[in-house]
Structure 1
Amino acid sequence: MFKYLKNDIPASIVVFFVALPLCLGIALASDAPPLSGLIAGIIGGIVVGFFSGSRLGVSGPAAGLAAIVAAAIGTLGSFELFLSAVVLAGAIQIFFGVIRMGIIGYFFPNSVIKGMLSGIGIIIILKQIPHFFGYDSEPEGADSFIEKSGETTLSALAHITDNITLGSMIIGIVGIVIILFWDNILSKKHAFFKILQGSLVAVVVGTILQVVFSSNEALKIESLHLVQVPAPEKLSNFIDYLSFPDFSQIFSKDVVLIAFTLALVASLETLLSVEATDKLDPEKNVTPTNRELFAQGFGNIASGLIGGLPITQVIVRSSANIQSNAKSKLSAIIHGFLLLISVLTIPMLLNHIPKSVLAAILILVGYKLAKPSLFKKMFSLGWTQFVPFIVTILVIVFKDLLWGISIGLVIGIIVILVKSYQNSMFMKISEIDAGKTTKLVLAEEVTFLNKATIQKELFNLHENSSLELDIRKTRYLDYDVVEIIEDFLIQARNKNIHVHLLSERGNVDNPESFIEFLKLDKIKTNETN
């Protein structure tokens, strides 16, 4: 691990500069203390980095969990109770690793996963708009589409111009301009601008502007709109500022449901990030997914025990790590120690960062998750991709994340059933010697779901015709379908329909041996498989 120090140390510094504003910003988006985001970044670097089998992946608080965390804290009414759910989620992730669920990500349709990320992006944008404008009087219901005291998310945002903090709004706009200019123009000019991230530059400029504005009453930003990281006089007092989990209700319905949601979504995000990181890796290392679930589980337990947000492997920091030419997981571990040092040594400096510049970063993160071009692409792929995608988004935004994923998954399964029903066979009718011969080619897998379609076509065949039934490509033939064919043969005899079977074992024309041959060829093969 220490073989590539000359590569890993510079890379860790770059990742640290990327992670610092994101840790603070994600804590802001989660309605959690700023310190909780930094703790999650520290644990994600040091603990997860140590246990993980990923050479280049970096873990920490994820924007994709922000909506769940904010809703969970509100539901439980206590950050300490929420921390107990984080610890339980870590234990569930370890259990996922034990039962080898590292392939869980492959069981969710891509359309549902993209819908989940887009829905989260939209929620992040909506939640950050008040912080972006320094809105001092957020009405009840501003974070919800469900009506509360006459206010909903949209109606609250419509009133946002009533109470804007001018200094916060200016810094937020400057932050967005800097990041867009940096990422879209400067980063293409020189490698230096890729190493030094635009989000960090925006934070530095925003902090300087905040200090300058503090001497002007019209532009001054109150402490309510600044980051508030504990700044103890002595390092020994730092422990007094940590939050610890309240386990008194750990097995209550709400805590267990939140823990399971966190474990499922964090595992999905991690596995998706692992797949993306392995593809970006120049050496194409393959990360052991079950071990990664173990590492994430240990990380979440550690984070929850000392007041940190839930952790996943994150693609933004991982890609920055790869682009900076990291060679081993030591880079992720060192970045965790750098975050720890910053919390212990410069908390007063961190407390000058305005929330509006962090909101600017998060609004762009949300936009990247929910780009209009993605909606256009999903629509162009047809209804089988677009319907699960858009339904998942709508349910996540208007209800919650677990409902969105569940309903999206159900829609995805329904799509599979519909396509299976439609693709059970291929039929071709041709005229031969003034008579009609129907060629029916069964699909590779034919189940009871295809009974209706096959029965309809077989029993609609005309008298004195011929049927060529081709099962050479069929690898699974449900017994229910065999019975349909058996019943048809009786009718075929009465309607003078000649039936010819094409099989891998040979061809059959004798109706008496037809079914026995069919059962021998397919049913026994199915049982063996």
Structure 2
Amino acid sequence: MSDTQVLPDHPLRNLKYDLPAGIVVFLVAIPLCLGIAMASGAPPLSGLLAGIVGGLVVTLVSGSALSVSGPAAGLVVIVIAAIESLGFDGLLMATVIAGVLQIVFGYLRLGRIGAFVPSSVIKGMLAAIGLILIVNQLPLMAGIAQDAEVGLFDTALFEQGSGLALTIALVSLAILLLWERPSIKGSVLGRLPAPLVAVVVAVLIDRLMPASLMAPLGDAHRIGLPIDAMGFAGASEFLGQLQMPALDRLLDPEVYMVAVTLALIASLESLLSLEAVDKIDPQRRHSPPHRELKAQGVGNVLSGLIGGLPVTAVIVRSSANVQAGGRTRMASLVHGLLLLASVALLAPMLELMPLACLAAILVHTGYKLAKPEMLVEQYRKGFNRVVPFVATVVGVMAMDLLKGVLVGILCGLFFMIRANYRRAVSFTQEGHHALLRFRTDISFLNREEVRSRLERVAAGTYLIIDARQANHVDPDIREDIEAFARNAPARGISVELRDVGGLSATFPADPDVLRELEDPSSTASTSPQRAFG
């Protein structure tokens, strides 16, 4: 039994799965690392360095088998603002300090915060990221250059689009879908990773397509690594381009404000990604969250020291790892090694890859994250699951990752409070016997309902108030019940308290009042206004 448990996590025994998965993650990571760096206003190399640190360093320290770390789109807004106010070297110092803070968070065991996010919110986050991926990559699939200011539905699309790029994208998608068919999976071809096959075919189409049939692709339609432009193509030149943080910024209070912001947001994004990856892990493994915070902290310290962007655990690359069949941390290590080799040694080869093919790979990954079946599944589980799911999707797409998740969490809290409110208090009555039962903890939210129930108790009733199932009764509600119990005998109501705030007692109705109630000509008052004294 122990052997079967060790086998799935053994790196060498699973190399046949992890090696192709690592290649897939590498192919996904290249455009993301470059794109996030350029979107942040940072040097393109900084995004690749963050990806290398995430793949080689964070992977070794982290306890997650499938999580992949690198630069995250969710930090772009913070990075842009930091570079504008502090400069790039100031951002690097803030990244180092943020990493130190994350290590402290890990030792303070603050990693459990991700467990408090509802599963419907996590799935909504995944779906939103998938939709954002699809929307952002569609222009590249249509052949619109990265630097072109043309939207997908712009009338200039037909002028700036490329028929060859669209052909490459459609062929790449067809290959990715074809490789999912059981007949291909069980064949010799199925042993090759579908994205790698798609890239090779895309390069061949790009190079062999006659210009008389379709206009050839330009440099803007292929990966543009910054290697040649920076004037180095070897390992020694690569090391010479590494940038260091500005030590004099240690005295700048603004650096620490940015560092705290980065540490908090990067930690939350990492923990949410970790929770999401654990949910889609076929082997249902649990990743230690406190250790993950320490790993992310170590990664950010090193990334900041060598000139890289802040790193987090990223769900896009992690989900690509899962979908590609990754089994252990070796897949992430392979992806990191390939990133390092591509930056230092293999830039000319990578620059042959059409962006339309990589966009198709990302669209395929995005679809797997945002399958329509996911919405149907949440709908079937009830209104309290589908509303936070949809709210998270809309929030993430309309604002950003963290704000969208916060919207989803607030929706989840609303339904939780609503459910507790409805089930907290029950009232039943048969004849002159009534039972007011607290089935869970009672808070101030239930005060009006309890008061309303007590005010409607008729004279001559024997009322039992049972709080044995409630670990906590709000002090104000407890005072209301005690006041009601003291005044009830004068109204001809007998009250028995069972563990209401630790009090168990019986308050019998006044016999004289009961006799008056039995006399039809009695004028005894049973006004509810006297219920609370």
TM-score, normalisation: structure 1: 0.79
Q: CA deviation at 1:8?
A: 5.1
Residue correspondence of structure 1 range 179-198 to structure 2 within 5 A: 179-186=176-183, 188-190=185-187, 193=190, 195-198=191-194
Q: Quote the residue 1:524 is aligned against.
A: none
8 A Cα contact 1:43 1:302, kept in partner: yes
Match of 1:98 among 107, 127, 141: 107
Q: Residues 49 and 332 of structure 1 are in contact (CA less than 8 Å); yes or no, is this contact kept in structure 2? A: yes
Give me the whole-angstrom Cα distance separating, in 1, the residues matched to 2:93 and 2:211.
43
Q: Deviations over 1:362-418 (max 9, x none)?
A: 112222222222222223333322222222222222222232222332332233222
Give the superposition deviation at 1:179: 0.7
Q: Deviations over 1:167-203 (max 9, x none)?
A: 111111111111111124455434862x532122112
Deviation for aligned residue 1:485:
0.7
Deviation at 1:127, TM superposition (A): 1.5
CA contact (8 A) 2:115 2:275 kept: no
Written as runs of structure 1 = structure 2, the 5 A alignment for 1:396-411 is: 396-411=396-411
1:59 aligns with 68
Provide the rounded CA distance (Å) in 2 between the counterparts of 1:187 and 1:35. 38
Q: Deviations over 1:414-460 (max 9, x none)?
A: 332222222211222223xxxx3222221221122211111111111
1:121 aligns with 2:130: yes
Greater displacement, 22-31 / 329-338: 329-338
Cα shift readout 1:97-138 (whole Å, capped 9, x = no counterpart) = 122012111122222222222222222222112211121497
Contact 1:468 1:500 in 2 (8 A): yes
Find the residue that maps to 1:393 and give its secondary structure: helix
Q: How does 1:105-504 map to 2 (within 5 A)?
A: 105-136=114-145, 160-186=157-183, 188-190=185-187, 193=190, 195-213=191-209, 215=211, 218-229=214-225, 230-231=227-228, 232-242=232-242, 251=255, 257=261, 260-274=264-278, 276-277=280-281, 280=283, 287-304=287-304, 305-308=306-309, 310-312=311-313, 315-316=318-319, 319=322, 323=325, 329=329, 332-333=332-333, 335-431=335-431, 436-503=432-499
CA contact (8 A) 2:54 2:311 kept: no
Contact 1:39 1:307 in 2 (8 A): yes
- 2: CA distance, partners of 1:59 / 1:83: 21
Match status 1:44 vs 2:54: yes
Could you tell me whether the CA contact under 8 Å between 1:90 and 1:297 is conserved in 2?
yes
Q: 8 Å contact 1:199–1:361 — kept in the other structure?
A: yes
- 1:481 aligns to what SS in structure 2? helix
Q: CA separation in 1, counterparts of 2:144 and 2:314?
A: 32
Query: CA contact under 8 A between 2:233 and 2:344: conserved in structure 1?
Result: no
Identity %, equivalent residues: 28
Distance 1:45 1:135, change over 3 A: closer
One-letter identity of the residue aligned with 2:176: I
**Which deviates more, 403-412 or 241-250?**
241-250
Give secondary structure in 2 for the equivalent of 1:423. helix
Taking the aligned partners of 2:183 and 2:133, their CA distance within structure 1 comes to 26
Give the TM-score normalised by the residue count of structure 2.
0.79
- Structure 1 Cα separation of the partners of residues 397 and 242 of structure 2: 32
Partner of 2:521: none
- Cα distance in 2 for partners of 1:342, 1:7 equals 26
Which residue identity lines up with residue 485 of structure 2 in the other structure?
Answer: L
Q: What code does the residue aligned with 1:306 have?
A: G
Farther off after superposition, 166-175 or 414-423: 414-423
Q: Indicate the RMSD between aligned Cα atoms, in angstroms.
A: 3.5
Per-residue CA deviation, residues 449-490 of structure 1 (Å, 9 max, x unaligned), is 211111111111122222222223222222222112112224
- For the 8 Å contact 1:19–1:41, the answer to whether it is kept is no
- In 2, Cα distance between the equivalents of 1:215 and 1:72? 44
1:216 CA drift (Å): 5.4
Matching residue of 1:523: none
The 1-side partners of 2:356 and 2:446 are apart by 57
Matched AA of 1:129 = L
Paired with 1:49 and 1:325, the residues of 2 have a C-alpha distance of 13
Once the 2 structures are TM-superposed, how far is the Cα of residue 357 of structure 1 from its aligned partner?
1.0
Structure 1 residues 236 and 137: CA distance shift in structure 2, 3 A:
closer
Q: Are the equivalent residues in 2 in contact too, given 1:442–1:471 (CA < 8 A)?
A: yes
User: Contact 1:48–1:298 (CA<8 Å) still a contact in 2?
Assistant: yes
What is the rounded CA distance, in whole Å, between the counterparts of 1:85 and 1:166 in structure 2? 45
Decide whether the 8 Å contact of 2:22 with 2:331 is kept in 1.
no
Which protein has the larger Cα radius of gyration, Structure 1 or Structure 2?
Answer: 2
Supply the distance in 2 between the matched residues of 1:496 and 1:93 (Cα, whole angstroms): 64
**In the alignment, does 2:22 pair up with 1:16?**
yes
Q: Secondary structure at the match of 1:20?
A: helix
Cα distance in 1 between the residues matched to 2:436 and 2:155? 61
Q: Would you say the 8 A contact 2:199–2:358 is kept in 1?
A: yes
- Shift of the alpha carbon at 1:268? 2.0
* Residue aligned with 2:353, SS: coil
Residue 26 of structure 1 is matched in structure 2 by 32
Alignment partner, residue 146 of structure 1: none
Conserved 8 A contact 1:24-1:35: no
- Distance across 1 between alignment mates of 2:245 and 2:155: 37
Instruction: Report what 2:530 is aligned to.
Output: none
Contact kept in structure 1, 2:26 and 2:335, CA below 8 Å: no
Q: Secondary structure at the match of 1:477?
A: coil
* Equivalent position SS for 1:221: coil
Kept in 1, the 8 Å contact 2:146–2:220? The answer is: no
Structure 1 unmatched runs, 5+: 143-152, 513-529
Q: Is the 8 A contact 1:29 1:124 kept in 2?
A: no
Question: Match of 1:47, as an amino acid?
Answer: V
Q: 1:324 to 1:19 in 2, by over 3 A?
A: closer
